[in-house]
Copies of this chain bind each other. A is one copy, B any other.
C-alpha cells in the first residue's frame, strides 16, 4: 500500500494555519518527500508522517518556499538517530544550495547523496522502491515536476502453475519475475501470472504554467497533485506573469492526462478560502479536490 499525504497546501510564504506545499509518499516503511519549505518538519509531524522514514527528498526548485526547511529537517533527522544515507535530488544548482544551507548543519550523523537532474529533458531515478521520473516545468527558474511510480508485480495464478505441474517451492521465484527450469524445460513468469498490471502513479507539479510535458508526466496517474495558485479565473494575467496556474488550467491538464483524481495545492496567500473556487476546477475535471493541509490517500 502506498500512503500519500499533503502536509501543507500553501505557496509563497507559510501562514498561521497553512503550511507550505510538500508531499510525503510512503511505501513499506520508507518515505519520499517532495519539497521542504520553512516549517515542513512541523507540518509532517502535525499530519502524522513519521520523519524517521524519510529516505529521499526531491526538490522541485530553489525558491525558499520549496527548500528553506531543509536545514531544520536534516538536523531533526539526525536527532531521530538516522544513520543511513539520505538521497536528495533536484535541478541544477543543488550542490550550491546544499553547500549554502549546510553551513547550519555541518555535522550530520548520516551521509547525503545528491543528484543534480537536467532541467531541459526528463530523467529517471529509483528512490525508496519507486521509479521516479523528473521532467521540466515552466517557471521563473528551472523547475522539475515528478512522477512517482510503483511497478506492481503481475498477479500469480495458481491454477496455471498447477496445470503445468510446477511444485510450490518454485512459485515465489516465478512470481518475483525469475524463470526456472522444471523437468528439463524453461518456465517463465508470464506462464504462471495473469499479465502486467498498470503501475500506481502519483504525479506532482509545482510551480509552473501549463505545458504539454505535464500532460505526459501525469498520463493516467492515479493521483495528480498540481499547483493551483489562483482559484479565480479573473487572475489569468497574474497567473501568466508570475508563472503559475489557475484551478481551471490545472483541471484541464488533469483531463488531458486522463488522471483519476486531481489535488489542487500551492495556494496564494491572498486566497484565504481556496475551496470557494472548487467549481472552477470541477466543471473542467469532475474529480478535482481543493486539498487541505493533511490531505491523505492510500493506493
Contacts and interface: CB of A to CB of B under 8 A. Distances in A.
Interface string A63-87: 1110111011001100100000000
A123 interface: no
B72 A14 contact: yes
Interface string A86-103: 000000000011011111
Contacts of A46: 16
A64 B76 CA distance: 10
Number of this chain's copies in the assembly equals 2
Contacts of A41: 13-14, 38
A79 B67 CA distance: 18
Interface in A23-54: 37-39, 41-42, 45-46
- The prevalent SS among residues of A at the interface is helix
A48 B37 CA distance: 22
B62 A13 contact: no
A76 B13 contact: yes
Contacts of A37: 72
Interface in A1-28: 12-16
A12 B103 contact: no
A64 B105 contact: yes
Given A13-B41, A63-B104, A100-B102, 12 more contacts: A12-B79, A13-B76, A14-B41, A16-B42, A16-B46, A38-B38, A38-B69, A39-B39, A39-B42, A62-B104, A68-B104, A101-B101
